[in-house]
Structure 1
Amino acid sequence: MTIDNTTEIGWELYRSFLGVMDAGSLSAAARAMGMAQPTVGRHVVSLEKALGVTLFTRSQTGLLPTEAALALQPLAQAMQRAAAALQRAAKSQSSGIQGTVRVTASEVIGQEVLPPLLAQLQDTYPDLTVELVLTSRVQDLLQREADIAVRMTQPRQEQLIARRVGVIPLGLHAHKRYLKKHGTPASLADLAQHALIGFDEETPFVRAARKAFPIWSRENFALRTDNDMAQMALIRAGYGIGVCQVNLAARDPNLVNILPGNIPLSLETWITMHEDLRNNPSCKVTFDALLTGLKSYMAS
């Protein structure tokens, strides 16, 4: 690999490179980025020349990334996250609460719990923009993938500000329609006679849950899905018995808490952000609003 050290590589070249990696063709990348296709093509060619590598090969289905492109992609993505974080920080430095704050949370918390909290925040600070990223993957706050994270595990990095919100109790729930048809379990042993909804892939939480609650194992599930919202939808549809947040299920009068107090499962909840953002007014009000709102949800 021969790199042209006399050429300073601009960020726009990497941006176009990532656009083509995501879209698979110059035309699709150009449309997604709002650029002209020849411009995207020139950027890719210029980056290849500056780095001394071939990034894409042509095929009948579009452009295929080379090994060099695949190796460079995570580094370029880190640059992209840093550029986005820089823009968010710059927009939030003027007086008043404004600019963009990027928040990440699980799908259940993000879809079922946060919307009213964020709506109230927007009413109070109409110039504040929130980007909400819903994923079960732990977003890296140190790499500025997000500004604030709602996590179900205690963060260990010293550079993060972390506040423990509390513990969200979990319980077994089923729709009244399912229980009317199949009966209500009177003991943990009775669960073996019912359609259980659970996970497909093992995670640290699932392994820990199985140790405390042995029947909650993959081979006993009548339906398996790793999507928490899908599990919630299946419980609401009357498919079977599944685990969900007690506070959330209590909102639906058709859901019944099965064997309350006998399920040793809970989610310890934390809100975190990078310590560099402690003096950022927009991040601070968002952090405080989420902390207050989640504590209220747990107390409901």
Structure 2
Amino acid sequence: MQSEEIFQQHTANIIVTEAQVRNAPQLTINVVEIPDTSSETLPSTIQYQLHKNQCLDINPLGGNSNLKNGATVFGTVPIGCNPAQYPINVVLAHGDDSNEEDDNTKRKDEDGDQNTAKRHFAIQYHPINNLYMIKDQGEGSGTFAKVEKPYTLANGTLISFGESHMVVQLHRTKHHSDVNRNKLVLKFLDGPRQFEQFTFMPQIGALKIGRMSECDIKLQDAGLSRVQCVVQYIRNSQLEEEGRWVLIDGNPETQQKSTNGTWVYLDEAHVVQDGMIFRACNYLFECKLL
């Protein structure tokens, strides 16, 4: 069963029992980095609440122990308001973290209202599968997970690195004698290649993205590594149409990771793994499972 299917099924009025809580793994979210409040790029209308090295223990019952629905919602609330008035279990900040860059992922309120709570992401315990899932809630500046191992791309996957956001489009095309091929289109939403798009067929095998002139997609961005990431086509069998495109951080040829990481937007539910690193609301978090 796919992560998104599990997430949707679990949110359908499922109650977590005390027995299930006793068998649940312990999940702690560690605050690795906090927002640099001296940075001019951060909005001035926000008061961040978490501290570096703070540990947030996730209750399998959920943020509201009365509901026992397994959901813990992280978000922001208006300045000067009582957080208990809003459906936010963990307050990341008071105020609004929206800025001009939010238009790239289209998660900012159309009216820019700073007097409403914003749900940034939710962590959901699933008792049947005995695991936790994380999903962006579409109201903040986006929740992105760091790519630590080969990540299978889907149509609409949003990738972030340096100053760039890049969306994946997968197309089924026909070649010669009606043989289906998986065509990959990478479209840049911002950054030095804004509005440009690049098309690749499986025959390329692997394509490099980074600062090197030898890269298939070269970007002038000091925040990127020489080889920032690689997108590779992997055949599941001898039939190309059964293959898949995967995203790999850094350069697999040298086994060197990128300096600042390659990130994917969590618009669909992802299973929380031990050591998983993600960012949201200008924080950097790490997951610990016991």
Flag the structure with larger Rg. Answer: 1
- Larger strand fraction of residues: 2
Q: Same fold (TM over 0.5)?
A: no
Q: What TM-score, normalized to structure 1?
A: 0.23
